[in-house]
Structure 1
Amino acid sequence: MSAAADFLRAGDPVLVFTEGARDEEGNPIVPAQWQADVLVSTARRELILVNRQGGKSTVVGAKCAHGLIYEPGLYLIIAPTLRQSKLLFRKARAILKRLRGAPRIVKDNDTELELENGAQLVALPGDSDANIRGYSAPRAVYIDEAARVSDAVYAALRPMLAASRSGQMIALTTPYGRRGWFFEAWEYGGGAWTRTTITAKDCPHITAEFLKEEQEGMSDWQFRSEYLCEFTDTDEAFFSSELIEGMVDASLEPW
């Protein structure tokens, strides 16, 4: 590609999405406005709460591919299991490989990708904090299915960014109950996090007929969580969060 075209793409990550992202039939995708906003965001801490099949993996894959080319460094993908981490890894790798003039790939396997410019992409399992220690100063940490990643793993990830002034932590997920670090960050994290939320009703490719079928075939909490992005109590909860909150008297001082 020409130097001018490469310069434009360097300054506009949306061009990476339009050039490299594809739907299930292999057709180019036009990014939704929220996806464009995520692509250009420079927020250091970002929470992305989007319904199933809403396009969150595609946009983060494109954002990662842009970073690998134009801000080389270490990029980490974490998910509850290695299988899930590899799904987002493959998404980013596929987008990267479609881009004209991208740096040559010098290492490529199921969990690691390295470019000739020194950029590295690594997929890791988030089933134990022991599996992710040892990495430092990443350009970005992407936490997929973040609501299901344990508090211990999240706590082990945060110090990685201590030596990275511009390093980003981006957590993408659908809700999974009213507990865990993601819920706490979403509800009580204040200005420390930039938040994006999209529900199935915001996605033109998800029809009302499909949603009706899903609502009839799932439990209420599952439907509200998976498609409406509501933090609801799961069937695992013995007492509802509303009942527990109603038993707490905030006026009492601890002793």
Structure 2
Amino acid sequence: MNIAADFRRALDPVSIFREGVRDADGEHVAPAPWQCDVMRSQARRQLILCSRQSGKSTTIGAKAAGGLVYAPGLYLVISPTLRQSRLLFAKTVGVYKRLGDVPAIRSESANELILANGSHLVALPGDNDATIRGFSAPKAVLIDEASRVSDALYAAVRPMLAASPNGQLIALTTPYGMRGWFWEQWTGGKGWETTKITAADCPHITEEFLAEEREGMSEWQFRAEYDCEFTDTNESFFASELIDAAIKPEMEIW
């Protein structure tokens, strides 16, 4: 075992990113400052609101890979569909396999990874909260595309962390309108560490690319996908501000 490398990774989780993340050409990727902050964060509750193609899934995959080594336990990956969960699962496994001197893989499938140190990584679909109720005391629950995950699933996730005092709940997403648990927690929740990264914060996303994207989608879609704004969609018959203005909190409910 390379003791120096192991000590470096344990001391600074960003070393996991630098060692295990590669670009499409197989070259090492230097993490952006916000990625370093997320990698190092020990906050128990994290909301990460990011532009498309910002590298949010890669960052969380690297963070989870480090956890599998240095904080053994159960790690759950949840997305609106199993296919989406498998993408973040695959990113995590890819980073893990590029790390030297790590616990051996005892079992691996498209949905599960079991390591010799007892760590267990599982990809789950988020379309049915009943599928996750059998798990308890995870080291981390990672919810990808969280704005599109149902309130019922979010409600089912939180209690499983009761037996894991240091367990982390990390939700990452682009916005999806002024609705749902992620929007509610982002705008008024307590106890969350929040990170917001727009396309303008990502040097690898060029102005030329953004100009093409703006031409190819509606204004509300562009503002949501790249500016990280919680906009009303054209599915909404009434704008959110009109609905809010029509509600009188002091009125008695019959």
TM-score, length of structure 2 as denominator length? 0.98
Q: Aligned equivalents of 1:27 and 1:157: distance in 2?
A: 36
1:249 positional shift: 3.2
2:247 counterpart of 1:248: yes
- SS for the counterpart of 1:54 is coil
- Aligned equivalent of 1:232: 231
- Aligned equivalent of 2:194: 195
What is the root-mean-square deviation in Å for CA atoms of aligned residues?
A: 0.9
Which segments of 5 or more consecutive residues in structure 1 lack a partner in the other structure? Answer: none
2:137 counterpart of 1:141: no
Q: Aligned equivalents of 1:220 and 1:26: distance in 2?
A: 35
Question: 1:33-79: per-residue Cα shift (whole Å, max 9, x none)?
Answer: 00000001000000000000001001100000000001100000000
1:248 positional shift: 2.2
- Aligned equivalent of 1:84: 84
- Aligned equivalent of 1:9: 9
Residue type of the partner of 1:28?
A: H
Bigger mean CA offset, 123-132 vs 3-12: 3-12
Which residues of 2 match residues 46-195 of structure 1 at below 5 A?
46-190=46-190, 192-195=191-194
Residue type of the partner of 2:149?
A: V
Q: Aligned equivalents of 1:2 and 1:109: distance in 2?
A: 28
1:31 positional shift: 0.4
- SS for the counterpart of 1:244 is helix
1:253 positional shift: 4.3
- SS for the counterpart of 1:162 is coil
Q: Aligned equivalents of 1:254 and 1:121: distance in 2?
A: 48
Q: Aligned equivalents of 2:23 and 2:53: distance in 1?
A: 11
- SS for the counterpart of 1:163 is coil
Q: Aligned equivalents of 1:108 and 1:173: distance in 2?
A: 27
Which segments of 5 or more consecutive residues in structure 2 lack a partner in the other structure? Answer: none
Q: Aligned equivalents of 1:194 and 1:23: distance in 2?
A: 28
1:245 positional shift: 1.3
- Aligned equivalent of 1:42: 42
Residue type of the partner of 1:80?
A: P
Q: Aligned equivalents of 1:235 and 1:102: distance in 2?
A: 49
1:186 positional shift: 0.1
Residue type of the partner of 1:254?
A: E
Residue type of the partner of 1:90?
A: A
State the identity %. Answer: 63
Bigger mean CA offset, 193-202 vs 17-26: 17-26
1:23 positional shift: 1.3
Q: Aligned equivalents of 2:104 and 2:163: distance in 1?
A: 28
1:109 positional shift: 0.5
1:171 positional shift: 0.1
Q: Aligned equivalents of 1:219 and 1:110: distance in 2?
A: 36
Q: Aligned equivalents of 1:217 and 1:171: distance in 2?
A: 28
Q: Aligned equivalents of 1:24 and 1:237: distance in 2?
A: 39
Q: Aligned equivalents of 2:245 and 2:211: distance in 1?
A: 33
